[in-house]
Amino acid sequence: MPQLTTAADPLADYDRATSVLVASSRGTLLTHGIRAAVDGRLDTLPARAAAILGADELVAGAISFDGAADLLVPESATWSPALPAGAPAFLRGGWSTRPLPSPADYIEAVRQALVELSTGRLDKVVLARSLELRSNEPVNVAELLRPLLGHGYAFAAPLPSGTTLVGASPELLVSRHGLSVVSNPLAGSAARSPDPAEDRRRAAALLASAKDRREHRLVVEAVTEALQPYCAHLDVPRVPELTSTDTLWHLSSRIVGRLRDPDTSVLTLAAALHPTPAVCGTPTAEARQLIQRLEPIDRGHYSGLVGWMDARGDGEWAVAIRCAEVAENTLRLFAGAGIVAGSDPAAELAETTVKFQTMLRALGADIDARHLERT
């Protein structure tokens, strides 16, 4: 059973091979050692996790976009207060980059998606691209994590391949604490500006954008539909609000519910929700098929889930975005954009470039954004 204690600096005991870190405004979880591994498909996880967890234990880790779980039951865990962000960068220079697909090919994929959207067979599809970074020195994952703390849901999870999933997501898929359920979907984005007046103008334009409001509504409707069977009450905002990260404005809706059945675990809710239109599209099956046809990359754990659940069924699962898979001296960053009728291919490419900046800033990698968009 894990001994739940408090650590002044949880990253001091972080072990890349065996630790899961999940940090949010509620606090910082860091696991130590591995008592058991929990794999399998997302739809079977609630029963599998419940069967293996002792009374004071928890399960934590990552779930891929395709629903394959890479979770662990730790030997021990520490809970600490929410931590502020550390130094903004730990490595400078020495990076080679390789975008996949190329900017031109990504624009072409968006154009093809718009043709599919025009047939009426689907309303939205999310197309992702990756950026491979290679350094001349090994990447220190613990130090990469420090500048990500204090930014939404910071996380690190070991993967079977020997890589580590690292990121700072602004988006909560679902949390459960007792009978209280929260989901906070984000959809519709605009780049921030360093000029305060221009930044306010961009925020106002996003909030007024019919295209972005339509994209956001598709996600909120899907989340609401998935949660309704489990909740006796759901409070769904009628209109979205603005929320922001250092690099982007987002349309946000905080959906709050109360469970009908106290035995419904957070993993049961996550299985009902994933993948939302925020990371896949709608209808889901048609969007998945188009993603498989148009994306030349394996998403892996990007746009999957990362989080934890305890033996009571409480827990928190964030959407695995603004992230990278880290090997020894190589990182694969991921970013995606929601394509709906009216999307502009060049603008969607630019949006993915901005989304790469969360990880690029943490690295201190001096990479010209124009390079990431040059067609």
Single-letter residue type at 15: D
Q: Are strands 323-326 and 164-169 parallel, antiparallel or unpaired?
A: antiparallel
Of 104, 16, 116, 32, whose CA–CA distance to 72 is shortest?
Answer: 32
- Residue 350 CA: distances (Å) to CA of 179, 189, 271, 327, 338: 41, 11, 31, 26, 12
Instruction: Please check whether residue 132 is in contact with residue 373, taking contact to mean a CB–CB distance below 8 angstroms.
Output: no
**How buried is 40 (Cβ within 10 angstroms: 0-12 exposed, 13-18 middle, 19+ buried)?**
middle
Rg, C-alpha atoms of the chain: 20
Main-chain dihedrals φ then ψ at residue 127, nearest 5 degrees: -110, 130
Pairing of strands 330-339, 186-191: unpaired
Decide if 171 is catalytic. yes
Q: How far apart are CA 342 and CA 118, in angstroms?
A: 10
Task: Map residue 107 onto helix, strand or coil.
Answer: helix
What is the Cα–Cα distance from 205 to 56, expressed in whole angstroms?
Answer: 48
Q: Please identify which of the residues 57, 116, 171, 215 carries the catalytic annotation.
A: 171
Q: Kindly give, in sequence order, each residue whose CB lies less than 8 Å from that of residue 170, ignoring residues fewer than 6 positions away.
A: 151, 152, 153, 186, 243, 245, 248, 250, 321, 322
Specify whether 124 is catalytic.
yes
**Would you state the structure tokens that stand for residue 200, as one six-digit string?**
């306010």
Please report, in angstroms and rounded to a whole number, the separation of the first and last CA atoms in the chain.
54
Q: Which of 57, 124, 316, 351 is catalytic?
A: 124
User: In three state form, how does the secondary structure of 17-36 look?
Assistant: CCCCEEEECCEEEEEECCCE
Q: Are 70 and 159 in contact (CB under 8 A)?
A: yes
Cα–Cα distance measured from residue 227 to residue 218, given in angstroms and rounded to the nearest whole number: 15
Q: What is the DSSP letter of 262?
A: T
Write out the catalytic residue numbers: 124, 171
